[in-house]
Amino acid sequence: MGLARSGVAAARLLHSRGESVFVTDSGKPRASAELDALGIPWEAGQHTAAKFLQADEIVVSPGVPLTIPPLQAARAKGVPIISELELASRYLKGDIIGITGSNGKTTTTTLVGEILKAAGKTVQVGGNIGTAMCGLVDTSTPFTINVIEVSSFQLDAIVKFRPRVAALLNVTPDHLDRYADFAAYRRSKFRIFENQTDADIAVLNCDDANVYPPPEGLRARRHYFSRTDGIADGAFRFGGMLYLNGLAVMAASDVRLRGEHNIENVLASMAITSTYGVRSSTLTSVISEFRGVEHRIEYVASVRGVTFFNDSKATNVDSAIKAVASFDHNIILILGGRDKGAPYEPLIEAMRGKVKRVLLIGEASAKIAAAMDNRFPVTQVSSLEDAVREGATIGEPGDVVLLSPACASFDMFDNYEHRGRVFKKAVQELPQ
C-alpha cells in the first residue's frame, strides 16, 4: 500500500522472490512505469476494498495511517499488516543499526555510516532516508552493517524487527495529527527496542526525560550519551572535551556542526559506533570533517551581507527551536506549512531576543500568528519564493534568513527535500 519510494521497493523485493503482488495508492501514480515493466498490477486514485480482504499480507508505506477503513476491515478479518521495515528485515543480511528519535535521525544515521566506512567496515545507509530498506536487501552480505533511519510510522507495524544496535535520540511532541496523544507517540518510538535481547545494545539519551529512564522491559545492554553527565558506558561531554567510555576523544570545539543538539548527535554516533571497536583517531578524523546533511541548518549563500540557511528538515516545533538556538540574534525566520498538532508556544519563547521578523507561509500561518499574539513583527507571504525575496529586501548586513518551518511540507511541496530545493533555488536567483 503506497506507490512512493518504500512501497515500490517492497513490491520489487516481493516480486523478485516470486510472490504475487498488487500495489494500491489513493493518490497520483508516481512509479507506475517501473511497476508496468516488472508486470506488477497496480491502481491509483482509489483503493479496491476487496483487494485488502483477499490479501495474505499487507505492507504499508510510512505515510499511510493504520486507522483508514480498508486497513481496519483487513485487520478485523485477521489479515496481517506490516511495515516495509518489517518486510525488509526478513531478508536483509548482516547487522542492523536502527536509529530513531523526533530529531537528529538523519544527521546521526549519516555520521554513523561515515564513521563505520572510515573504519573499514562494509556499510549501507538507508531506511527513512535515501534508499528504502527493501532496496538494500540484494546488496547486503553477512558482513554488512546496515545503518537504518527509522520513523515511528515504520515502527507502528513491526512484528519481529530486531536491530543489533538500536538508538533512541530524543522524544519531543511530533506527529500529533497521527497519534491520539504524546504518550502514544512515545510508546511508538520505544518499539525499536521491543524485540531486542540481552545480546543486543540499546543506546539512550540520558538528558531527555522522555527517553531516560526507559520503561520497564528493555532487555538489551544499555549504552548512554549525555552532554551533561559523565557516563562509564557511553559518550559524554565534560570540560570542553568529548569522552567515550571514560577516555577523551576530541575537543567539542572541533565539531563543525552548529548547535548544542548536534553535540548530542555526535555523542550518539560515538556511542553507537563504539560497539564496533572504532578507534578514537577514526572518530576524531571523521567527526571533525563532517559538515552535516542537506536541508539541516545548511548554509546556502550570503547576498549583500545577509546569510541564508536552509533548515527545511525542521518539520516539528522542537527541531525549529534547536535551529533558532544555533544563532545568536538578527534572525528573519520563515515559518509555516502543514500543522502537525503540537503547540507553537515553546518555539515562540525560544525566539525571544533572537528573531527580529517572522515570514509566514502555508496552511498553519493563521495558527502560528495567533500563537505569537503580536509579539514579533509578522509578514504573511504567498509562497516560499516570495519569503526569500522579502527576507533579502528587509535583511541588513549581519542578518540571517532562516527557513526552519516547524511544520510538514505537504501543503505546498512533495516533501521537505522539495521545499529545501525550492528555497535554495530562490536564494541563488536573488540579484547579487
pLDDT in tens, 373-407: 999 999 999 999 999 999 999 999 999 999 999 99
Total number of domains in the chain:
3
Q: Which residues contact 83 (CB under 8 A, 6 or more apart)?
A: 59, 60, 62, 153, 154, 155, 156, 157, 158
Cell of 384: 516560499
* Neighbour-count burial for 331-341, b at 16+ CB within 10 Å, e otherwise: bbbbbbbbbbb
The verdict on whether 121 is a catalytic residue reads: no
- What is the 3-state secondary structure of 271-334? HHHHHHCCCHHHHHHHHHHCCCCCCCCEEEEEECCEEEEECCCCCCHHHHHHHHHCCCCCEEEE
Residue 33 pLDDT grade (very low, low, confident, very high; cuts 50, 70, 90) = confident
The pLDDT tens digits of the residues spanning 41-60 come to 999 988 999 999 999 999 99
The verdict on whether 205 is a catalytic residue reads: no
Last residue of a domain, one of 28, 55, 79: 79
Looking at the structure, tell me whether residues 213 and 277 fall in a common domain. Answer: yes
Domain of 247 in residue numbering reads as 85-289
Q: What is the pLDDT of residue 63?
A: 86
> Rg of the Cα trace of the chain?
22
Stated as kind and residue range, the H or E segment containing 146 is strand 144-149
Q: What is the pLDDT of residue 101?
A: 96
Looking at the structure, tell me whether residues 283 and 181 fall in a common domain. Answer: yes
Looking at the structure, tell me whether residues 186 and 283 fall in a common domain. Answer: yes
Last residue of a domain, one of 261, 289, 317: 289
Q: What is the pLDDT of residue 230?
A: 82
Beta-ladder partners of 243: 236, 248
Cell of 214: 526507559
Q: What is the pLDDT of residue 45?
A: 86
| Residue of 105, 121, 189, 313 with catalytic role | 105
| Residue of 103, 121, 128, 330 with catalytic role | 128
Q: What is the pLDDT of residue 29?
A: 67
Looking at the structure, tell me whether residues 214 and 338 fall in a common domain. Answer: no
Q: What is the mean pLDDT of residues 412-430?
A: 96
| CA dihedral for 159, 161, 165, 171, sign (positive or negative) | negative
The pLDDT tens digits of the residues spanning 214-231 come to 999 999 999 999 998 888
Looking at the structure, tell me whether residues 92 and 34 fall in a common domain. Answer: no
Q: How many helices (H) and strands (E) does the chain have?
A: 15, 19
Q: Is 24 helix (H, G, I), strand (E, B) or coil?
A: strand
Q: What is the mean pLDDT of residues 12-32?
A: 89
- What is the 3-state secondary structure of 162-217? CCCEEEECCCCCCCCCCCCCHHHHHHHHHHHHCCCCCCCEEEEECCCCCCCCCCCC
Looking at the structure, tell me whether residues 181 and 103 fall in a common domain. Answer: yes
CATH number, domain of 333, equals 3.90.190.20
The pLDDT tens digits of the residues spanning 187-218 come to 999 999 999 999 999 999 999 999 999 999 99
Backbone φ and ψ of 102, nearest 5°: -70, -35
Looking at the structure, tell me whether residues 258 and 346 fall in a common domain. Answer: no
The pLDDT tens digits of the residues spanning 303-337 come to 999 999 999 999 999 999 999 999 989 999 999 99
CATH number, domain of 74, equals 3.40.50.720
Looking at the structure, tell me whether residues 73 and 104 fall in a common domain. Answer: no
Q: What is the mean pLDDT of residues 293-301?
A: 94
Place of cell 507553537: 344
| DSSP-derived pairing of the beta strands 42-44 and 23-25 | parallel
First to last CA, the chain: 47
Cell of 160: 519481529
Looking at the structure, tell me whether residues 128 and 185 fall in a common domain. Answer: yes
Alpha-carbon separation of residue 114 from 4, 203, 293 (angstroms):
27, 18, 12
| Residue of 121, 146, 170, 175 with catalytic role | 175
The verdict on whether 105 is a catalytic residue reads: yes
Last residue of a domain, one of 79, 94, 125: 79
pTM: 0.88
pLDDT at 133 over 80: yes
Length of the chain in terms of residues written: 432
The pLDDT tens digits of the residues spanning 232-275 come to 789 999 989 999 999 999 999 999 999 899 999 999 999 999 99
Looking at the structure, tell me whether residues 281 and 312 fall in a common domain. Answer: no
Looking at the structure, tell me whether residues 50 and 91 fall in a common domain. Answer: no
Cell of 150: 527509522
Looking at the structure, tell me whether residues 354 and 378 fall in a common domain. Answer: yes
CATH number, domain of 253, equals 3.40.1190.10
pLDDT at 62 over 70: yes
